[in-house]
Amino acid sequence: MKRTTAFSHTIDNIIPYSRSWGIGFMVTASIMFLYGEALSALVRQWWTNDMYSYGFLIPFISLYMVWIRREDILNIRPSPGYVPGAAMLFISLSMLLAGHAGGIIVLEELSLPITIAGVVVLLFGIHSLRFLWLPIAYLLFMIPVWGVLTDFLHPPFQNFAAATGTRLLDMIGIPVYRDGIFVELPNITLKVARECSGVNYLLAVVALGIPMAYLFLRSRTRRIILLCSSVIIAIAANGLRVALIGAFSYYGIGDNIHGPFHMLQGLFVSVIGYAALFAGVWILSGGPSESSHTSVEDGSKSFVRPHVPTRKSLIFLSVFIVILSILLGSYIYFYKPSPVPLKQDLRWFPYEIGNWTGTDSEPDYEVFKTLGADRILTRTYRTDAGRRIKLYIGYYERQEQGKELVDYRTDWLYDGASPVRITAGTSKVIEVNRLIKPEGEINRLILFWYDLNGRVVTGKYRAKAYTTWDSLTRGRTNGAIIIVSSDIYNKAGTEEAQRYTEKFIKDILPVLPAYIP
């Protein structure tokens, strides 16, 4: 059957069908080239992070949502949105370049859906997003940024799962006592860990629930009911999971805490959520409902008839996008900031500083051996009075993805950290981070900061911002992290440790510029 439309100037009438596919392939390939670094990082994160393992499905689901609306999309009257399209591309490509310059891969990844939307608007007009906004926005689910947004949900979900599991165990006659997130049984104590809160797996339920609601339910009310009920059932399922683990452990069923065949792993929450989705679709899809798909003819009444582009203008815009993508992609792949070596090798850093005498040592934490710093100094300084301080300097001649000054593996440095001002010299005051970290029977006082081309920086986001700025304006991404630590053996020693640690920092501050650029 031949497709008919109220308008003669649709996409496939302006550009022949075969040629439009060729142009579309070129634009798509050029964007994939531009985002090769970000896409490869996404695949690695999907493969290694259980929370985002569903990410492999997201692009295909998004494409399917486009495919089922292909008739409506091909009937769109293309009207290039020069201003909004160019504005969206400017924002997204700025995010891409800034993310690349500062080693902020998530910023590069977040720019991808905006770039896709910008290309669509530039070629076909902003009214084309009427059919494409959901498939494009849906791509956000594949980007591993949701952990930051859902971080605050873990503690209440842990407590809810522990409380629900305790109540269910009590109902079946198993003696149980709950202390916060700990579920105590006669023969074992279970802890509802952060990873077992169920929050991570709820995201997968929502990511699958949105396209299912979009594809199979026509009423907006029913779509909301489907999503909410599936999430609620999945949350309750985590409490049931805790109860089943407790029951299996109490009766000695299976040789693993997660039950026979590991069937009570965290994935249990997703499985129950998926089952709720399919059952909900089956129940809610019956009966009369509102139509979710409005024809182009009806929807077009609300639009002013747009300017109809010529075939040459669409081809010109497509070629422009391809060339721009290739140029920026080549910059990302082939341009690297210049490495900046130390002014002097850290091996010559003074062993005698004030009344402190240093000896070479190993880092207190193994993670500092794997961060990729180009030059490392680890010293233990002591005084005749028996005071002991550990100094760590990690210097990066050039930062790049996977070799960064601000690394997720050192996020623990910010857990409970607070700023402290230290007077250096007669007028200079610097601010450093202060952290007291429990280490068995003792506490460790840790003071640390970043040195970025002479700037003393405490915040990790500010450090990223300075790195990005230096990369774009000076062609360099060098920097150092300085950590000074001392042990506290009793509460009374905290102030004393703070005092002599600050004194040590005052002594080394005038020395550092002779080594760190």
Give 438's pLDDT tier (boundaries 50, 70, 90). confident
pLDDT at 366 over 90: no
pLDDT at 16 over 70: no
Amino acid code (one letter) for 299: G
Which DSSP symbol is given to 414? G
Q: What pLDDT sits at residue 437? A: 87
Q: Locate 394 and state its tokens.
A: 């990690």
Q: What pLDDT sits at residue 291? A: 42
Residue pointed to by tokens 């391809």:
322
pLDDT at 340 over 90: yes
Q: Which residues contact 330 (CB under 8 A, 6 or more apart)?
A: none
Which of 135-139, 249-253, 282-286 is most confident?
135-139
Residue predicted with more confidence, 85 or 149: 85
Which of 163-177, 186-200, 420-434 is most confident?
163-177
pLDDT at 418 over 80: yes
Q: What pLDDT sits at residue 255? A: 58
Q: Average pLDDT in the 424-436 region?
A: 82
Which of 254-268, 357-371, 375-389 is most confident?
375-389
Which DSSP symbol is given to 403? B
Greatest extent of the chain over all pairs of C-alpha atoms, in Å: 94
d(CA 223, CA 78) in angstroms, rounded, equals 31
d(CA 199, CA 150) in angstroms, rounded, equals 7
Q: Average pLDDT in the 295-301 region?
A: 40
Domain ranges of the chain: 11-144+308-334, 150-284, 346-514
Q: Average pLDDT in the 113-125 region?
A: 93
d(CA 168, CA 186) in angstroms, rounded, equals 16
d(CA 157, CA 358) in angstroms, rounded, equals 48
Q: Locate 410 and state its tokens.
A: 């050192």
Q: What pLDDT sits at residue 254? A: 61
Helices (H), 35-57: 36-48
Residue pointed to by tokens 């996409």:
11
Average pLDDT, the chain: 83
Considering the chain, what percentage of its residues have pLDDT values greater than 70? 87
Q: What pLDDT sits at residue 414? A: 86
Q: What pLDDT sits at residue 381? A: 94
Residue pointed to by tokens 């850093």:
349
Q: What pLDDT sits at residue 368? A: 79
Based on the number of CB atoms within 10 Å of its own CB, is 374 exposed (0-12), middle (13-18) or buried (19 or more)?
middle
CB-side neighbour CA atoms (13 Å) of 373: 21
pLDDT at 5 over 60: no
Q: What pLDDT sits at residue 257? A: 52
d(CA 497, CA 485) in angstroms, rounded, equals 9
Residue pointed to by tokens 């998004």:
62
Helices (H), 81-153: 82-102, 105-124, 129-138, 146-149
The per-residue pLDDT for range 75-105, each reduced to its tens digit, is 877 788 899 999 999 999 999 999 998 888 9
Lowest-confidence pick of 29-33, 118-122, 204-208, 345-349: 204-208
Which DSSP symbol is given to 144? T
Q: Which one is the CATH code of 346-514: 3.40.1000, 3.40.1350, 3.30.160, 1.10.490?
A: 3.40.1000
Q: How many CB atoms lie within 10 A of CB 459?
A: 16
The per-residue pLDDT for range 220-272, each reduced to its tens digit, is 888 889 988 888 888 888 888 888 888 888 887 765 555 443 445 556 777 88
Q: Look up the pTM and report it.
A: 0.78
* SS3 at position 263: coil
